[in-house]
Amino acid sequence: MGMGLEPYGEPADEARAALVRLITDGGGLTDPAWRLAFEEVPRHLFVPYYFVNRTGRYERLWGEDPDPVRRERWLRGAYYDGPLATRVRDGELISSSSQPSLMAGMLEALQVRPGHSVLEIGAGTGYNAALLCHRLGDSKVTSIDMDAEITESARVHLAAAGYRPAVVTGDGARGCPDRAPFDRIIATCTLPSVPPGWLAQCNPDALILAPLSTGLISLRVRDDVDGRSAEGHFLRTSAYFVALRGSDAVPERRIGGLPRRLLENDLFRFLLTLTAGSLDPREALSLWEREGHPLRDRFGVTVTADHQWAWLDDPDGPYAWPLGRTATE
């Protein structure tokens, strides 16, 4: 019988406290309720093993390794402020636990209040759902993922930590109508566009926060004379997540003919990805140079039931383009 993960008590508590200090020193976790959640939810229970990429090969670290040195490496890594590869299939990363400081920023940007119900797209390890449960209560949290192995694993991790939200196996691009309506939707996987079906599952004035391109879009849901819509700006921060799988999967984009320095520029790659299918790379470059290398928060997105577009500065301004392919196409 394995040693289990519970005996890590004091070392895990110390590592978790160090992680919280690191995030707060960096300007995160300004909300005391979210700080308490990060202080009390044990991340190591959600990553009983993970993979470290070593020169192109994944090395597995786990909490029940018979080698005490490797167990210590595993525990340190569980509280490292970086993403952890948690599922690898045929050499391809299919699931990960996100960087804690990025998770903290996203959760604070979600602007939850007591009583809010939240749908999480992409169950991952269950750690993010646990943080939401700590803040809102189990009954207010729904997490969905199309991979049954991932949802079952998330349930086990959540139960080990004392949380029991609804964890559903299904296509997150279609939301979770059986648990709707929601006050907040948060996605932890990159989208090519915002599935319009989510809007119908939201309460009025709901907030949708999702990785799009290499940024985070924050959309406020509203009821207009023409029906329901959502609109908002990107946050300034970058965000890199595993792509959504299923009916709204992110298509590949082949890029050629541009200088290497541009392709390695984080902000230009954001624009290039955001305009995929609408602007060719040269047109994107022209916009980038003409507007003085705009930051992410100058861009926004508008979503209606049958149309959505990205824009620079103004949704009705001169720089706007259709956004991606939607789940209904």
pLDDT band at 292 (very low <50, low <70, confident <90, very high): very high
95 part of the active site? yes
CA dist 32 and 279 (Å) reads 43
pLDDT band at 95 (very low <50, low <70, confident <90, very high): confident
User: What residue has token string 């470290």?
Assistant: 52
Residue 1 has pLDDT above 90, yes or no: no
Q: Residue 189's pLDDT is what?
A: 87
Q: Residue 224's pLDDT is what?
A: 84
pLDDT band at 280 (very low <50, low <70, confident <90, very high): confident
CA dist 117 and 223 (Å) reads 19
Q: Residue 205's pLDDT is what?
A: 95
Name the percent of the chain lying above pLDDT 90. 71
68: number of Cβ within 10 Å: 8
Residue 321 or residue 249, greater confidence: 321
Q: Residue 54's pLDDT is what?
A: 76
Q: Residue 324's pLDDT is what?
A: 66
Q: What is the 3-state secondary structure (H, E, C) of 141-202?
A: EEEEECCHHHHHHHHHHHHHCCCCCEEEECCHHHCCHHHCCEEEEEECCEECCCCCHHHHCE
pTM score: 0.90
Length of the chain: 329
Q: Residue 260's pLDDT is what?
A: 81
| pLDDT tens track for 30-45 | 999 999 999 999 999 9
Domain boundaries, the chain: 6-188, 223-322
Q: Residue 5's pLDDT is what?
A: 58
Which one of the listed residues 95, 96, 97, 213 is annotated catalytic?
Answer: 95
Q: Across the chain, what does the average pLDDT equal?
A: 89
CATH topology of domain 6-188: Rossmann fold (3.40.50)
Q: Which of 58, 95, 34 is nearest to 241 (CA)?
A: 95
Name the percent of the chain lying above pLDDT 70. 91
pLDDT band at 129 (very low <50, low <70, confident <90, very high): very high
Cα distances (Å, whole numbers) of residue 100 to 26, 35, 189, 310: 12, 12, 15, 28
pLDDT band at 328 (very low <50, low <70, confident <90, very high): very low
Q: Residue 45's pLDDT is what?
A: 95
Q: Residue 6's pLDDT is what?
A: 57
pLDDT band at 253 (very low <50, low <70, confident <90, very high): very low
Say if residues 104 and 34 touch (Cβ distance below 8 Å): yes
Q: Residue 2's pLDDT is what?
A: 37
Residues with Cβ within 8 Å of 155's Cβ and at least 6 positions away in sequence, in order, are: 126, 167
Residue 214 or residue 131, greater confidence: 131
Q: Find the range with the poorest average confidence among 7-11, 140-144, 324-328.
A: 324-328
